[in-house]
């Protein structure tokens, strides 16, 4: 039985705030470890661009970069899926940042299909409306309006989907979108994450570990939000938002329709943080991942994730060390070299060429050879 649509939310396209999982990409890369040997690395560190010309990649090993990756890529915050992709292969994630849009048609098609399935599920519980925005403040205002519209539904033990989360983790702002939150028959708040599969098989252990880490991060951030640990000062510091800036007319109109009398982003931020901390929303009790086949919508299996806070914090600290510029990116261990077989960047991967050694360790030898 379809649920009654109790509220409207604004589409991710309008808000500029999307954290679609890339598990559909990894479905193309899931292969058995023992099937074949991986490709040999190519002779260059270049990839063909759209016009056929070769694109040179930045060289970490030269030691000339004094900017951290956050500064190098002009990032104010990270997505949860940035860190979960590091859990799969950090070097692959870095190449994805350095060569944005370098996506094969096959992988693009798989992602589009996954997005359509997520959208269909979202439309089961609420309508989507598009609100034109004129500034980054408008974009964040849409996120806050979506949160304000969902809190009452969650308070009344309803089901919500596409819930925005954000918070400072290890000095970096981390944002994401939770697929679904609902209460179980026992009254526990459960996070349900949908993963679509191109083939009707469950993912290998490496993929499942990545997915488990992703949902654990969602819980970590959501719990901090409802416990009052996320502050407006931190959010403004990282995003460089101007809370006093008047909101655009379309956003103001949408806010009034939702019953919110606000003029600026600061007004909305105050409402959101008060609502989160005074609503008595509980922390997330359970984490569940559901794998379904894209073509048939058949449920392939579910996984209940045990939240291990110490392990999550240790992983986050390690991954953030790269983003803060404290270490170079790392590829996979030898035991997981099978991941390289279908990696877009296998032929130019410096981690593979170095035999799994950081470039900085190879530089003195290179200089000596000259």
* Residue-wise pLDDT tens digits, 196-247: 888 898 988 888 999 999 999 999 999 999 999 999 999 999 999 999 999 9
**Run of H or E residues at 168:** strand 160-169
- Average of per-residue pLDDT across 107-114: 50
How far is 142 from 13, CA to CA, in rounded Å?
11
Average pLDDT, the chain: 78
Provide the token pair at 121: 């599920």
* pTM of the shown model: 0.77
How far is 272 from 247, CA to CA, in rounded Å?
16
* Residue-wise pLDDT tens digits, 271-280: 999 999 888 8
- Average of per-residue pLDDT across 262-267: 94
Provide the token pair at 188: 């526990």
pLDDT bin (cut points 50, 70, 90) of residue 65 is: low
Provide the token pair at 186: 């026992």
CB-facing half-sphere around the CA of 296: CA atoms within 13 A: 8
Residue 23 near residue 203 (C-beta atoms within 8 A): yes
């Amino acid at each position: 039985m379809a649920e009654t649509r109790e509220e409207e939310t604004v589409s991710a396209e309008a808000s500029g705030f999307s954290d679609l999982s890339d598990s559909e990409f990894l479905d193309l890369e899931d292969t058995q470890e023992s099937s074949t040997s991986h490709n040999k690395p190519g002779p260059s560190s270049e990839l063909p661009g759209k016009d056929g010309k070769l694109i040179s990649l930045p060289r970490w090993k030269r030691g000339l970069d004094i900017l951290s990756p956050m500064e190098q890529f002009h990032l104010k915050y990270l997505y949860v899926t940035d860190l979960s992709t590091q859990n799969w292969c950090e070097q692959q994630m870095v190449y994805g940042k350095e060569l944005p849009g370098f996506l094969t048609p096959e992988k693009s098609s798989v992602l589009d299909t996954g997005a359509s399935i997520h959208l269909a599920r979202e439309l089961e519980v609420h309508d989507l409306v598009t609100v034109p925005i004129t500034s980054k403040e408008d974009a964040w205002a849409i996120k806050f309006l979506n949160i304000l519209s969902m809190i009452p539904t969650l308070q009344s033990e309803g089901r919500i989907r596409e819930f925005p989360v954000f918070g400072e983790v290890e000095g970096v702002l981390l944002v994401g979108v939770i697929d679904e939150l609902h209460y179980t028959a026992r009254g526990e708040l459960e996070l349900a994450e949908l993963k679509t599969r191109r083939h009707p098989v469950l993912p290998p252990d490496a993929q499942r570990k990545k997915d488990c880490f992703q949902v654990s991060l969602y819980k970590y951030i959501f719990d901090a939000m409802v416990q009052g640990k996320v502050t407006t000062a931190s959010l403004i510091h990282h995003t460089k938002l101007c809370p006093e800036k008047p909101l655009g007319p379309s956003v103001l109109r949408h806010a009034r329709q939702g019953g919110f009398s606000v003029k600026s982003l600061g007004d909305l931020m105050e409402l959101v943080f008060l609502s989160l901390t005074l609503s008595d929303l509980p922390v997330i009790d359970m984490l569940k991942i559901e794998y379904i086949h894209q073509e048939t919508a058949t449920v392939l299996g579910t996984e209940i994730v045990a939240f291990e806070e110490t392990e999550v914090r240790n992983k986050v600290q390690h991954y953030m060390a790269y983003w803060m510029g404290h270490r170079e990116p790392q590829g996979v261990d030898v035991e997981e070299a099978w991941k390289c077989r279908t990696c877009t960047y296998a032929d130019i991967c410096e981690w593979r060429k170095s035999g799994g050694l950081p470039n900085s360790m190879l530089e003195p030898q290179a200089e000596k050879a000259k």
